[in-house]
Amino acid sequence: MAAHDGGGHGDSEGSGHESAVAQVPGGLQVAQDGYRLAPVSGGLPVGKAAPYRFRIVGPDGSPVTAYTPTHDKDLHLIAVRRDLTGFQHVHPTMAADGTWSVPLAADAPGQYRIFTDFQPAAREEALTLGVDVPARGDYRPAPLPAPERKATVDGYTVTLAGDLVPGTASKLTLGVSKGGRPVTDLQPYLAAYGHLVALRDGDLAYLHVHPDGEPGDGKTAPGPDITFYAEVPSAGAYRLFLDFQHAGKVRTAAFTAVAGDAELPPAPAAPGHDDDGHTHD
C-alpha cells in the first residue's frame, strides 16, 4: 500500500522505491498551500482525557468539511511530547461545521506536538500540519532511548531489520512474535497490517509510511514480517512507532534508529542543574 504524500511521507511503491525529497518535511508547518491547522482547545490535560478540538481552515478562509479518506479515515491525529515520549495515534470525529474533536490526555506535563494527517477533497495530495500544545506542570524531559533492534509491548516482541539511509528509500522489516513464536495472523488495521511513523529528534519532522501490499491482495502475508520503505530527509536520530493489531487490540512498538553518521543527542540536564551538571539557583 502506497503512503499518501503529505510533504515528508515515505513512498512505498514505484520503480526502485524511489521518491523525491520534500523541501520541507511534514509536520513542521502549521500552514501549507493555503490550508491551516487552527486549534480551538488551549492545551492538553494531564492524566484525564478531555475533548481536544481544532479545525482545518482552507484557502477560502472557511473550515474544510470535505475530505478524501486515507487508510479508512478522513483524518489521522498524532500526539507526542517534544522528547518523543507519550506517542498517541487517534482518529477524531468531525462536526457539521468542520470542527474536529477527540478525547485526549497527556501522560505527563510538557510541550506536545499535534500532527494532523489528511487529504482535503479539493486537493490531489495529502498534507501533514503540526502545532505545539502545552500540558501544564513540571516538565522533566526524558533522554532518547539508545538504538535497539528489539522492542517489547504487552508480551509481544518486535524485531527491526534494516537501516535508515538519509535521502533514499530505506527498507525496514519489522517482525512480530509472541512467546518466541512468529505471529502469522496479524489483523488489518486501517487497511494495512502495520503503520509506521518516524519522527526526527530535535524538530520532530514527521514521516508516515506504510508497508508494501495490503490485506486481501493475494500476496501480502498477515505477519510475522511487515516491510516498509521509509525516506528520511537527513542524518540524525529518529524515533520509530509501529502500530499493529492482533487479537482485537492495537499495540505500539517504539524504536530509536540513527540515520547516517549522526550521534545520539546528549541527555537532558536534570532539573536544577546546567548542562555541565553544576547546581544553579
Q: Give pLDDT tens digits for 164-219.
A: 999 888 999 999 999 999 999 999 998 899 999 999 999 999 986 767 778 888 88
Lowest mean pLDDT among 1-10, 32-41, 78-87, 109-118: 1-10
For residue 250, pLDDT beyond 70: yes
pLDDT at 93: 98
Domain boundaries, the chain: 31-135, 150-259
Mean pLDDT (the chain, rounded): 88
The fold adopted by the segment(s) 31-135 is Immunoglobulin-like (2.60.40)
Q: Is the distance from CB of 109 to CB of 85 less than 8 angstroms?
A: no
For residue 21, pLDDT beyond 90: no
For residue 156, pLDDT beyond 90: yes
State mean pLDDT over 239-262: 95
Lowest mean pLDDT among 13-27, 137-151, 162-176, 251-265: 13-27
State mean pLDDT over 57-63: 98
Q: Note whether 31-135 and 150-259 share their fold.
A: yes
pTM: 0.87
Q: Please provide the CATH number assigned to the domain covering 150-259.
A: 2.60.40.1220
Q: Is the distance from CB of 199 to CB of 232 less than 8 angstroms?
A: no
